[in-house]
Amino acid sequence: MLDYTTAEGLTIEHMREAHERIKPYINRTPVLRSQYLNDLTGADIYFKCENFQEAGAFKVRGACNAVFGLTDEQARNGVCTHSSGNHALSLSYAAGRRGIPCNVVMPRTAPQAKKDAVKRYGGTITECEPSTTSREASFAEVQARTGGEFVHPYNDPRVIAGQATCSAELLEQVDGPLDAVVAPIGGGGMISGTCLTISNLAPNTKIYAAEPEQADDAYRSFKAGHIIADDAPETIADGLKVPLKENTWHFVSHFVTDIHTASEQEIIDAMKITWKYLRIVMEPSCAPPLATILKNPEVFKGKRVGVIVTGGNVDLDKLPWL
Amino acid sequence: MLDYTTAEGLTIEHMREAHERIKPYINRTPVLRSQYLNDLTGADIYFKCENFQEAGAFKVRGACNAVFGLTDEQARNGVCTHSSGNHALSLSYAAGRRGIPCNVVMPRTAPQAKKDAVKRYGGTITECEPSTTSREASFAEVQARTGGEFVHPYNDPRVIAGQATCSAELLEQVDGPLDAVVAPIGGGGMISGTCLTISNLAPNTKIYAAEPEQADDAYRSFKAGHIIADDAPETIADGLKVPLKENTWHFVSHFVTDIHTASEQEIIDAMKITWKYLRIVMEPSCAPPLATILKNPEVFKGKRVGVIVTGGNVDLDKLPWL
């Protein structure tokens, strides 16, 4: 196993090692297109559908790389984490496949669908208040009690290397080079993995991040040149509330071309038209890329654009346009 | 071009010719799986996702085979048809790609999403009352006025040969033989194409049809040994209201192992769990196969089962579980 101590030390070999390690436990998700959405945006969009991933989100890539990279000694007390949802259930899935315990701290406001899925995969939930401070306090207690190996949802080089496998597949699945790749940004795990792969394998492809206006800490960090972290911003894109950390800031600050933001209504509209015309069930947190592509035609028109659709765990009884 | 005069005369060569003809205009749709749905049913299910097909439904296969098989002389006045929706917009799509007019008669109660799509593809709609008799009267007027070539939504050997390409792809996409294939049955176009392909290429694979209890004319026909046609049955599965005709009856009566039915609530439940766990947007008309697999575990448990997900054109503002 390669050294995973620092984000700066990650190379494309870490991505390749991760891909080999996790292949038995993940899906090679399809890339879908929609003529209607192409006509609407003026771009040629390739949607990498991680909503069809095991556990319903790309997060299972990083979780599996972390869990299956542990020595038996490291895995003895299982794993633990805090997460607004998809990392929690992905780590539960990975731990379940390896046969070790998984303890997760989740905000009590997390979607019921995600809580149900964590339990289905055998994870144990401790609920906290929906703020960074409450989450960190609850997590410290859980970690001390269980002695589990901490797998951070995004600020962990093992996790970033796992997420990097997604755009490696995307590059193989599209016919010819991409002008740009757009991914949502919350804590920055997916965008960091995207940077690791794209900067090495497709250095002429630009990398854009898309963020809710109401949780635009990454946008403001990017413009300021240092991490700005907000406590508990409100947005329908519940997976994008968390702040950047040093390992993801490394990639965002070095490799991202720009960050665009979208309003809550723009996110909801983009979500609905994706459901309608791409015919996939995706989370609100997946919608900022299409919303920002629609909002910034001068950047994307006439371009071949990859979009990472990050997850599909939704409460079908609470759809935001109804 | 092979002879398409009768359904009895269709061979696997007709399917192969159709596949070559339509490949530039259709998608090779992905096959998806869900561990959760496998655990729930006890079967190993391969969902062939025609909701991701051009124009949102498998019907584009048959429509393209018919439209692109016309001589220039036959195509001179365009094409016309009657349809509850997906054939209407598929024929509009195919005619648009060939650059000929398309006139369609649709019940005024057809989903708005389907009417909008017909217009988007350049088709012209004439509305009728939601009954077989009203549809046929309106259509006679439209056909006389336009002189267009009639492409029946299912009782046309060209259409059946086109639909047959779907299960040919499914067989290539699954790893190893299938014990069964299940498709919804309305007029019988998809099930007939499935019979044509499966009986030739996978003769040990059983073919099941799934139908709403409230529009169970195919089930009753199958048990009686002759076509029973109801006028305007009511069901949420709006694509499955039409009766069998002689060309589809030929395949249903010769090659189908059994027909199972599902109640409206069972259809809605199956639709919702597919959205939730397979994370695809599919129509109510696609849900009877999963509903009947859940309802008849003695038939499907432990089996490798292909399911045709027929289409994904849904009014997102009117979901049946809300």
CA dist list (Å): A174 to A102, A198, A257, B163, B213: 36, 14, 21, 27, 43
Residues A106, A108, A112, A115, CA torsion sign: positive
Long-range contacts from A268-276, C-beta under 8 angstroms, 24+ separation = A268/A236, A268/A320, A268/A321, A270/A294, A271/A320, A271/A321, A272/A321, A272/B316, A273/A37, A273/A40, A274/A37, A274/A47, A274/A309, A275/B281, A275/B316, A276/B113, A276/B281, A276/B314, A276/B316
Q: What is the DSSP letter of A239?
A: G
| pLDDT surpasses 70 at A231 | no
Contacts of A280 in chain B (CB under 8 A): 279-281
Is the predicted pLDDT of residue A238 greater than 90, yes or no?
no
pLDDT averaged over 10-residue windows placed end to end, chain B, 322 residues: 91 98 97 95 98 95 98 97 89 97 93 87 94 90 96 97 98 96 97 98 98 97 94 85 95 98 98 97 97 98 98 91 90
> Which has the minimum average pLDDT: A21-25, A151-155, B7-11, B226-230?
B226-230
Closest approach of A12 to chain B, Cα-based (Å): 29
What pLDDT, on the 0 to 100 scale, is given for residue A315? 87
> pLDDT tens-digit profile of A193-227?
999 999 999 999 999 999 999 999 999 999 999 99
Query: Is it the case that residue A113 has pLDDT exceeding 90?
Result: no
**Nearest by Cα to A258 from A303, A289, A222, A310:** A222
Contact call for A32 and B52, based on CB within 8 A? yes
Q: What is the pLDDT of residue B96?
A: 97
User: Are residues A316 and B51, on separate chains, in Cβ contact within 8 Å?
Assistant: no
First-to-last alpha carbon distance for chain A, in angstroms, is 49
Helix ranges (H only) for chain A are 12-22, 35-41, 59-68, 86-98, 112-120, 132-146, 157-173, 189-201, 217-224, 246-255, 264-273, 288-295, 297-300
ipTM of model: 0.93
Chain-chain contact of B281 with A279 (C-beta, under 8 angstroms):
yes
Does the pLDDT of residue A159 top 80, yes or no? yes
Phi–psi pair at B280, nearest 5 degrees? -120, 150
Identify the pLDDT of residue B19: 98
Contacts of B322 in chain A (CB under 8 A): 317, 319, 322
- Judging by DSSP bridges, how do beta strands B180-184 and B206-212 pair with one another? parallel
Interface of A with B (CB under 8 A): 30, 32, 35-36, 51-52, 54, 56, 113, 120, 272, 275-276, 279-282, 312, 314, 316-317, 319, 321-322
B279 neighbors A282 (Cβ within 8 angstroms): yes
Average pLDDT (A159-174) is: 98
First to last CA, chain B: 49
Minimal Cβ distance to B275: which of A30, A120, A316: A316
pLDDT at A80 over 70: yes
Inter-chain touch A52–B32, beta carbons under 8 Å:
yes
Would the CB atoms of B280 and A281 count as touching at under 8 Å?
yes
What mean pLDDT comes out for the span A53-76?
A: 96
Q: Using the beta-carbon criterion (under 8 Å), do B321 and A316 form an inter-chain contact?
A: yes
Burial class (CB in 10 A: 0-12, 13-18, 19+), B9: exposed
Residues pairing with B280 in the sheet: A280
- Between CA B271 and CA B268 the distance in angstroms is 5
- Chains A, B: CB contacts within 8 A come to 54
Residue of B nearest to A313 (CA): B276
A280 vs B275: CB contact, 8 Å cut-off? no
Would you call A322 and B321 a contact, using CB atoms and an 8 Å cutoff?
no
pLDDT value of position B110: 84
User: What pLDDT, on the 0 to 100 scale, is given for residue B238?
Assistant: 87
Q: How far is A175 from chain B (nearest CA, A)?
A: 15
Is the pLDDT at A108 greater than 70? The verdict is yes
Predicted local distance difference test score (pLDDT) of residue B239: 87
| pLDDT in the model for residue A232 | 66
| B contact set with A (CB within 8 A) | 30, 32, 35-36, 51-52, 54, 56, 113, 120, 272, 275-276, 278-282, 312, 314, 316-317, 319, 321-322
Which domains, ranges and CATH numbers included, belong to chain B? 12-58+156-309 (3.40.50.1100), 60-150 (3.40.50.1100)
- The pLDDT of A86-93, averaged and rounded, is 94
CA geometry: angle at B242 spanning B239 and B246, to 5°? 130
